[in-house]
Structure 1
Amino acid sequence: MPAQIHVFRCLQDNIGALVHDPNTGACAAIDAPEEGPILAALAETGWRLSDILVTHRHSDHVQAIDPLKRRTGCRVVAPLKAREQVPHADAYVREGDTVHVGSLQAHVWETPGHCADHVSYWFAADRDLFAGDTLFTLGCGRVLEGSYGDLWSSLQRLAALPEEARVFCGHDYTLSNARFALAVDPDNEALKARAAEAEEAKAQGRFLVPTTIGQEKAANPFLRAGEPSLAKAVHKEGAKPVEVFQALREWKNRF
């Protein structure tokens, strides 16, 4: 049976996610932003927390690890490069490792750029990607460590996944991302439709997570920095895609 996934809000704009294996009953939380909403999601679904899979060390993704571990006895898996900031994890992972949640298997991909220790979890059999703060619906994370080239490379790697792959991100920034995307890519019909869908979702109390790789390649300007129209928008005609990407991200920082 395929994985079951439940998404919900945490904190102000974090997205919590539970990944449940119906074959074994195992259930992983992707990151641990806030204990209360995670416990409420577990109660709503009837699932039992067995694991926490950490994407990166920032406090809004790890601050509920200790209380959840004390309450449930769950296993904590964290990036090896975040060992000092997540000292009580049960396992540390790096590029090329695999993680099991019951009978479900996730490949660990190092996706630096937002921060040096960031990893994403790719459940290939289910075509589900948990991208943390690397790739958002209609956006991407800020470059806080490393280089713009690091984040561009990470995004290009994710963009090479199958178009039907579902992307679960760590925050709901969709409406602000849509406003920026429309400012830089105003003639993109796929983007216009996606922005309207985001507004409708907000009115209904929903959010556009998951998205898909195909939807993001069509509408997300940060995955389209190799296209002439995006280069023109940032006055970088003829520049390398990574330079266009940097100009786009720096514009978004000021937007």
Structure 2
Amino acid sequence: MPLELVTVPCLKDNYAYLVHDAETGETALIDAPEAGAIAAVLEDKGWTLSHVLLTHHHWDHIDGLTDLLKDHPAKVIGAKIDAHRLPPLDRAVVEGDTLIIGSEAIQVIDVSGHTIGHIAFYFPESKLAFTADSLMALGCGRLFEGTPDQMFDSLSKLATLPADTMICSGHEYTQSNGKFALTIDPDNPALISRMRQVQTAREQGEATVPSMLSEELATNPFLRCNDPGIKASVGMIDAQPSAVFAEIRKRKDNF
């Protein structure tokens, strides 16, 4: 059976995620922005935390971990290359490693770009990908450490996952990402329709993540860098997709 997923709003606009295996009782947390919100869900559900999966070292993804572990001890897993700036790890992983959560085998994917050593966790049976600040709803993370080519390669990996994969990203940035996307892809009916839905959801105080990968492939300009309309929009008809990505990312940085 697929694992049960709970999206946990944290801080101002962050998300953590809990996945629970009812058969084994194991529960994994993906990122720990703040302890209180996560602990409240664990207590409400009666779940025992067994694993914490960290995507990258930024404070708003790890600062809640120390307080959380005081009452909810668990095995902490993160990227080997990032171990020197993550909380103490029980297991350091690299791309291609497999984790076992409950009865499911989890794949580790290097998605460097936003940071070097950023990783994503893919749960193939449950059709979940925890991408944090790499692939985001209608966008991608700012390149604080990596290059455009690195981020393009990372997003290209994620784009090859099954289209019915749920993309569990780390922030409620969808509305602002979508406003930018419309400047790049203004005539895309799928994007226009999605933005109407996003606006309604936000007006009602609802989360806009997770999102389906199929939605991202149809509407996220950072995954559509080979689309002739987008190439024309940025004046790069004959350019390679990686170069188009770099131009779109530069425009987003200045949006």
- Structure 2 partner of 1:148: 148
The equivalences for 1:49-64 within 5 A come to 49-64=49-64
- Structure 1 partner of 2:103: 103
TM-fit CA distance, 1:66: 1.4
- Structure 2 partner of 1:2: 2
Deviation readout 1:73-108 (Å, 9 max, x if unpaired): 111001101111124111111011111222222100
Q: Is the 8 A contact 2:62 2:87 kept in 1?
A: no
- Structure 2 partner of 1:157: 157
Q: Does 2:45 correspond to 1:45? A: yes
- The whole-number CA distance in structure 2 between the counterparts of 1:164 and 1:219 is 15
Gapped regions of structure 2 (runs ≥ 5): none
- 3-state DSSP class of the match of 1:23? coil
Q: Is the 8 A contact 1:185 1:229 kept in 2?
A: yes
In structure 2, relative to structure 1, the CA distance for the partners of 1:250 and 1:5 (3 Å cut) is same
Residue type at the aligned position of 1:254: N
The equivalences for 1:200-239 within 5 A come to 200-239=200-239
Q: Is the 8 A contact 1:131 1:168 kept in 2?
A: yes
- The whole-number CA distance in structure 1 between the counterparts of 2:44 and 2:133 is 26
The equivalences for 1:26-37 within 5 A come to 26-37=26-37
- 3-state DSSP class of the match of 2:7? strand
TM-fit CA distance, 1:46: 2.3
Residue type at the aligned position of 2:113: G
- Structure 1 partner of 2:25: 25
TM-fit CA distance, 1:240: 0.9
Q: Is the 8 A contact 2:52 2:77 kept in 1?
A: yes
- TM-score, normalised with respect to structure 1: 0.97
- The whole-number CA distance in structure 1 between the counterparts of 2:218 and 2:177 is 14
- The whole-number CA distance in structure 1 between the counterparts of 2:103 and 2:65 is 23
TM-fit CA distance, 1:237: 2.0
Residue type at the aligned position of 1:20: H
- Structure 2 partner of 1:118: 118
Residue type at the aligned position of 2:49: L
- TM-score, normalised with respect to structure 2: 0.97
- The whole-number CA distance in structure 1 between the counterparts of 2:187 and 2:45 is 42
Q: Is the 8 A contact 2:175 2:195 kept in 1?
A: yes
- 3-state DSSP class of the match of 1:37? helix
- 3-state DSSP class of the match of 2:61? helix
- The whole-number CA distance in structure 2 between the counterparts of 1:27 and 1:157 is 27
**Number of residues of Structure 1 aligned to a counterpart in Structure 2:** 255
Q: Is the 8 A contact 2:56 2:86 kept in 1?
A: no
- 3-state DSSP class of the match of 1:231? helix
- 3-state DSSP class of the match of 1:168? strand
TM-fit CA distance, 1:184: 1.2
- 3-state DSSP class of the match of 2:60? helix
- Structure 2 partner of 1:89: 89
Q: Is the 8 A contact 2:57 2:86 kept in 1?
A: yes
Deviation readout 1:123-157 (Å, 9 max, x if unpaired): 01111101111011101111111210100011011
Identity %: 40
- The whole-number CA distance in structure 2 between the counterparts of 1:239 and 1:60 is 36
- 3-state DSSP class of the match of 2:24? coil
Moved more, 123-132 or 37-46: 37-46
Runs of 4+ in 1 over 2 A off after TM superposition: 43-46
Residue type at the aligned position of 2:102: G
- 3-state DSSP class of the match of 2:161? coil
Q: Is the 8 A contact 1:68 1:74 kept in 2?
A: no
TM-fit CA distance, 1:210: 1.3
Residue type at the aligned position of 2:211: T
Moved more, 85-94 or 147-156: 85-94
Residue type at the aligned position of 2:117: D
CA RMSD of aligned residues (A): 1.1
- Structure 2 partner of 1:139: 139
